[in-house]
Amino acid sequence: MTVQGKVYLIGAGPGAADLITVRGARLLAQADVVLYDALVTPEMLALCPQAQLISVGKRSGQRSTAQTLINQQLVESAQRHRTVVRLKGGDPMLFGRADEELRALEAEGIEVEVVPGVTTALAAAAATKQPLTRRGVARSVAFFTSSTAPDEPQHPALPATDTLVQYMGGREAIATATRLLAEGRRPDLPVVVIENCSRADQRIARLTLSDLAGGLEAAHGPVLVMIGEALRQRLHQPT
């Protein structure tokens, strides 16, 4: 029997279960089925013990196929259940591929609602007590990623803003630092690197642009890199 349910795209936030919004947590507790990303924590999933859980974490090298499959699963779940949650790390509307999922659901006439979440950049600023803007120093911020669509250039132009925040910034951030130095940015420009933001195994490193160009320690979780003069105030403070 076809049930035309409703789908909620919910932002899980950066990782810590208590950083999800009240609305997001309430809807999780009501969900019949939850399709969740690979970075969603077990503590977050504990908020929906009644729901059928479906892992839809993407695998490297299969992104397009994986996303098509996720779209199909969302549509099929909405045809069988009243309340379907698509749980995404951070905020669904920022690097969450929400556009593709929204279009797939809307094409089938399925009702969709988006519930925002705390994006990792803001959680990282809070975790490091490091504002991304600073009066008289930095009044613009850009969030970006090196990931590109198949028909896009492999090295798109870097944003021209005061503070740069690179998502998925492991090895890609090293290339970013090299490009910034080649463009004439100062080698001592402050950098803050945060791994597993807001989680128990969170790690923070404070360095300079030239340090970043020289490489990063191996990471075991998602990495976010913040670059800019606004970060200088706390550059040499302990983490």
Whether residues 111 and 130 share a domain: the answer is no
The pLDDT value given to residue 60: 46
Domain containing residue 66: 6-115
Whether residues 109 and 140 share a domain: the answer is no
Which of helix, strand or coil describes residue 133?
coil
6 is catalytic: no
Domain closes at, from 115, 136, 170 = 115
Residue position matching structure tokens 């349910």 = 5
In Å, how far from its chain's centre is CA 50? 26
What percent of the chain clears pLDDT 90, i.e. is strictly above it? 79
With contact defined as beta carbons under 8 Å apart, do 36 and 55 qualify?
A: yes
Cα distance between residue 201 and residue 60, in whole Å: 23
Q: Which of the residues 58, 93, 99, 162 is marked catalytic?
A: 58
Task: Write the CATH number for 222.
Answer: 3.30.950.10
37 is catalytic: yes
Take residue 7 and report the two structure tokens written for it: 């789908």
Which of helix, strand or coil describes residue 147?
coil
How many domains does the chain fold into? 2
pLDDT in tens, the chain (239 residues): 667 899 999 999 999 999 999 999 999 999 999 999 988 999 999 999 999 999 998 644 445 458 999 999 999 999 999 999 999 999 999 999 999 999 999 999 999 999 999 999 999 999 999 999 999 999 999 999 986 555 555 667 888 899 999 999 888 999 999 999 999 999 999 999 999 999 999 999 999 999 999 998 888 889 999 999 999 865 455 54
Q: Which of the residues 6, 93, 168, 211 is marked catalytic?
A: 168
Residue 239 included in any domain? no
Domain closes at, from 115, 149, 164 = 115
Whether residues 88 and 134 share a domain: the answer is no
Residue 178 included in any domain? yes
Whether residues 103 and 165 share a domain: the answer is no
Residue position matching structure tokens 């077990």 = 42
Task: Write the CATH number for 103.
Answer: 3.40.1010.10
Whole-model pTM: value is 0.88
Cα distance between residue 145 and residue 139, in whole Å: 20
The pLDDT value given to residue 71: 96
Whether residues 28 and 133 share a domain: the answer is no
Whether residues 151 and 191 share a domain: the answer is yes
Cα distance between residue 137 and residue 129, in whole Å: 17
Whether residues 87 and 126 share a domain: the answer is no
Domain closes at, from 115, 138, 158 = 115
Range list of β-strands (E), the chain: 6-11, 33-36, 52-55, 83-88, 111-115, 141-145, 163-167, 190-195, 203-208, 223-227
The pLDDT value given to residue 15: 93
Residue 144 included in any domain? yes
Whether residues 33 and 106 share a domain: the answer is yes
Q: Which of the residues 1, 18, 32, 37 is marked catalytic?
A: 37
The pLDDT value given to residue 148: 52
Whether residues 51 and 85 share a domain: the answer is yes
The tens digit of pLDDT for each residue in 43-67 reads 999 999 999 999 998 644 445 458 9
